[in-house]
Structure 1
């Protein structure tokens, strides 16, 4: 069996540390600019009710100018992954600066999207530039770039196994080195990336993440057995709502060809939605912590508005040039809706909410094993087997990934 060299292992470790540092620095940049724009400045003016509208329109002007200057940036997660699979790299020439600036503006001005798409582009481009200067064979260079993408996913979602999950989901990817070596390298780069990411985040005092290991008393009930399949169906239906909104909004706005008009329309929408509820803005990661801590203080109407309008704003943002990831918003809106469909039940409902979110997010993300590895660090650990089972039920192609992966042994 072909073995990896010690030097290649060191390259992998160092790349992981760099990936985590890049992710933390970018997240920190967005956090501090967001705090300045959405907390410090409005406090100086007693937080006027129309402030979100002002920020949305100002952001729309910036996004419009960026779209005119840098057409198509930041690129989506699917575009970056498609390039990686097609060419074995993510190009950095005349691209890295555009990605950083565009994503920073979009995320700072309240877009209802996540940072994962931008970070994959930033890390992929940076990794490609570094690896191009290493004395490695072409196949090992491509392997390192692929590993760096898995590491950034692990860092963003604080899930050290997401890189491996991405490999399992992607059953068509050619295996350039033995599976055992790939397993070892994926673990090495993911944990090293997580270490530098978490250290830098704590150093910069960035607020806690929703992702962590939890082992609470689950409060099992016979209701769980009866409602297991209905919750999967309801979660799947919500994912249809989430996905189809993006299709219909994109078609509805397709007649607008002027990028500045589109960007301003997106900014206007962000402003209006922000006036309706602060929880409709941003990716939803930190808002989910706030909502779960005080969910009983919200009215059913308020939660329903959040659950239904969040996907709508995501669709508007994506269709108007405010591009980003949909994983964080999907987890947030699915969790709120999952609570709403179980609120009529007495006793603990965490298990049923977990199943609802797993079904919804598996369909939205389209990668069942990756989704399960992320939700492992959102919901109680003892629910994880049922998250995997739900992912299997929602996406029948899930098992084919394992079968094809085993054939490479």
Structure 2
């Protein structure tokens, strides 16, 4: 949906004969899109782009807060809107998760680049690459069934089970899922990276 919207915003910005009443029903061809500048060129500067993205994130956070307030029952991510008695000295507990989250984000990006680099060096057919990775993925399930974790279907049960799993094993699951996702993509498998990165 975001890609669809971005393509139309590019058409509006760079087409002189574009009309808003065609926004929803116009079919955008690949040839048309290839001729258009990239979405990032819509911004005057990097600062302009960052401010725009920050505003969009803030809108998303406010929207999520409103949804959780209106519908306090458990949602897609197993998140509840809970009443928290917050005190200022609790803020020091935020520092460690921020450092760990940032570090793991860097690890995720590094493993993505590393797996792409290694996969480019392997000169065998894509079908053989994908088959080899299928066998490795099956073997990884001997360590944990979460190697096959699908966020779309398993995130809520996983949130409930996570409290019964040791922190060390949760970290093992995270490392296995990070590597298996990125290597799998590099070897021709397809899917999404949002839920595995979460």
Deviations 1:279-337 (A, max 9, x none): 22143243331222132321233212111111111101110111222111112xxxxxx
Indicate the structure whose relative CO is greater, using CA pairs within 8 Å and at least 6 residues apart. 1
Do residues 172 (structure 1) and 42 (structure 2) align?
yes
Do residues 314 (structure 1) and 170 (structure 2) align?
no
Do residues 233 (structure 1) and 94 (structure 2) align?
no
1:85 Cα deviation after fit: 6.5
Q: Indicate the RMSD between aligned Cα atoms, in angstroms.
A: 3.7
CA–CA separation in structure 2 for the residues paired with 1:282 and 1:219:
34
Structure 1 counterpart of 2:131, from 236, 247, 264: 264
CA–CA separation in structure 2 for the residues paired with 1:283 and 1:218:
30
- Aligned residue for 1:294, secondary structure, equals helix
1:254 Cα deviation after fit: 1.2
Calculate the TM-score normalised by the size of structure 1. 0.32
CA–CA separation in structure 1 for the residues paired with 2:132 and 2:94:
41
Paired residue for 2:7?
Answer: 84
Deviations 1:240-268 (A, max 9, x none): 00111010011112122311121112212
Off by >4 Å, runs of 4+ in structure 1: 80-83, 85-88
Q: Kindly tell me: are residues 212 and 299 of structure 1, through their superposed partners in 2, closer, same or farther at Cα, counting changes over 3 Å?
A: closer
Q: Kindly tell me: are residues 272 and 294 of structure 1, through their superposed partners in 2, closer, same or farther at Cα, counting changes over 3 Å?
A: same
1:171 Cα deviation after fit: 8.5
Count residues with an aligned counterpart.
151
Following superposition of structure 1 onto structure 2, how do residues 241-256 of structure 1 map, counting pairs within 5 Å? Answer: 241-256=107-122
Do residues 144 (structure 1) and 24 (structure 2) align?
yes
